[in-house]
Amino acid sequence: MEKRIYPPHIQKQKGQEEPLICLTAYTAHTAHYVDPHCDVVLVGDSVAMVVYGMESTLGADLDMMARHGKAVVGATNKACVVVDMPFGSYQESPEQAFRNAAYLMKETGAQAVKMEGGTELAATVNFLVRRGIPVMGHIGLLPQSVNTLGGYESRGKDSDEAKSIQHDAQSLEEAGVFAIVLEGTLEAVARRITAEVSVPVIGIGASPACDG
């Protein structure tokens, strides 16, 4: 049996020639098959859309994430399992975020949680990290903000937006995330952010310029 990968191991992979491999799984069956090939397995709140047929990720709740997270952790031996914090479970306050993140960690056995947001979330991230909860950041295209963003369009198209995403990455790095998911962001911006921050950047539709 292979040893479990933990967040510090992921953080140390920054800038390595071999890219990090991160895949999503919602069920024990899928997790069992992807585990040997992954550094990170993400239990995404996209489960609301993929499994339950909802129009967005906003319908995911803590019980849903706990249920699927527990199934994925139970079927893996190697990968670092990260569970998404669903919409509404962490935005209110650092204290709310800690309670719900601790619940997910205890219920699932996952190694970390992931939260969407940049500069405005930095204080919350730091609050969790200082209390023993590893956090993966998520910037660029934010599916939980689909209504305020006006859809799922790529991000970083103009200089102001690009600078804002860069600032988000720097803020999360300073707050203590062990890695950052960068979603739906133009390659030039992704390349710049990946070069600037000291933690791994995992791209979802953000080009091969990322660390994974």
Q: Residue 143: phi, psi to the nearest 5?
A: -60, -30
Other beta carbons within 10 angstroms of residue 34's beta carbon come to 18
Q: Residue 113: phi, psi to the nearest 5?
A: -120, 160
Other beta carbons within 10 angstroms of residue 149's beta carbon come to 14
Q: Can you list the positions of beta strands (E) in the chain? A: 22-24, 40-43, 80-84, 112-116, 135-140, 179-183, 201-204
Half-sphere exposure at residue 85, Cβ-oriented, CA atoms within 13 angstroms: 31
Is 183 in the active site? yes
> Which among 92, 95, 183, 196 is annotated as catalytic?
183
- Buried b or exposed e, range 43-56, using 16+ CB within 10 angstroms: bbbbbbbeeeeeeb
**Run of H or E including 168:** helix 159-175
Which residues are catalytic, by number? 183
